[in-house]
Amino acid sequence: MMAAGYFCSAGYTETGGMQVFLQQLNSNLKWKRCFPAVDKPNLKKGRTKATSVRSASGVSGDNLVEQMLKIISEPVFERDEQYELILLIDDLDCRFNDDNQAYDAWLLNTHNRVEVAIGRPLMFLTLFASPEIEAWFLSGIFYRLGCKTVFESKANILDSITQKLS
């Protein structure tokens, strides 16, 4: 089974639901959250869910990219798993201002930096949500229900990503 490592911000939705969401997108991939780290997910007195560690709070945008590069460049990163795919998940937050050339240049540069950091070629993809990650969850729900909504275009994007990963 192909392994895919993903990096996302430390928001409640990202740490609480992203693993299940990605598994629904493509269950043929072994998804592993590489960032943010979370406290142990087992239930303990006073804690009912996994929560991200405080040092990950507020990490998004360029900070998230830098954190990802730092982690994948560590010699122990692939000790237990060799990844075929690195996925960066973040809110768009008005980056690129609908400038496709700026996004394409950023994507190429970031992909090159990922390959240099990990020391070999591999697939690198992004999932940017606009305005927030929760938009992806809504689009997935509506898509699965067969609804014709304003989320339809995002659902089509999810299909295309799923096909690339299969």
What is the model's pLDDT at position 89? 87
Distance CA 37, CA 92 (A): 22
Q: Which of 134, 141, 121, 38 is nearest to 90 (CA)?
A: 134
Distance CA 59, CA 72 (A): 16
121-164 per-position pLDDT tens digit:
999 998 887 666 566 555 565 555 555 544 444 455 555 555 65
What is the model's pLDDT at position 149? 46
The token pair at 21 is 């969401």
Higher local confidence (pLDDT), 45 or 74: 74
Band the pLDDT of 59: cuts 50, 70, 90.
confident
Tell me the backbone φ, ψ of residue 128, rounded to 5 degrees.
Answer: -105, 130
The token pair at 116 is 């240099």
- Mean of all residue pLDDT scores within the chain: 76
Cβ–Cβ < 8 Å for 2, 85: yes
Unique residue bearing structure tokens 């994007």: 157
